[in-house]
Amino acid sequence: MIESKLDGFILNVLGFTNVNIPNPDIALRELRHKFVGSEIQMMRADRVAGLEHLSFAAENAVRAVRQGRGRSKSVAMETLLFTSGQRQISRALERLGVTPQTREVVITIFSSQSLNEDEVNAFVASVFEGKRLDAVVEISSGKKIRELCRLYGISSQELSAARLPSEGAKSLVKRLILERSALLSTGT
């Protein structure tokens, strides 16, 4: 579990692989019921460009909600919007929503105090099968790079034009996705 402090919240990020979630809505509801007082979001990990992508989205989400600029009152939902690079919840869910076919999941938990990692792991394991693997959010293959480019609308021309000297593909794709997320906070 990756934990960081964020403007009054403690953000916990948990990655899982080989999951089996027959009904994602019920699974999310069970997680939210167990961790009352926390805000929880579940997303497809194969469509996240690394921990920096999630952290950047979470920072922008907290800022938007605190400043009353959020599209929702929920930091968890705003995080989904910023991570997806979408302004509409329905489009964000299309991009990052978990389905019964999803096999890699990342969960974000915003809480006011530190959570017991063993308790969180045990409960999540009881909600859906899977193996804890926080690295599922990272860009680890050319296949994930291609899928992220397709999903976030990054063309080969944009990749060529935006590449910095000696910048690798993973870094470049991550940077371009973060730029798209940043555009949401500017309103453009």
> For 82-141, how does the pLDDT look when each residue is reduced to its tens digit (9 = 90+)?
999 998 999 999 999 999 999 999 999 999 888 888 898 889 888 988 899 999 999 999
pTM for the whole structure: 0.91
pLDDT score, position 44: 97
Which of the 8 DSSP states describes residue 155? -
**Residue 119 sits in a domain of what CATH number?**
3.30.2380.10
**pLDDT-derived band of residue 186, with 50, 70 and 90 as boundaries?**
low
Phi, psi (degrees; rounded to nearest 5) at 157: -65, -45
Q: How many domains does the chain have?
A: 1
Question: What range defines the domain where residue 120 resides?
Answer: 2-186
Q: Return the closest-CA partner of residue 151 out of 86, 99, 101, 105.
A: 86
Phi, psi (degrees; rounded to nearest 5) at 90: -60, -40
Question: What percent of the chain is modeled with pLDDT above 90?
Answer: 73
How far apart are the C-alpha atoms of 69 and 87, rounded to whole Å? 12
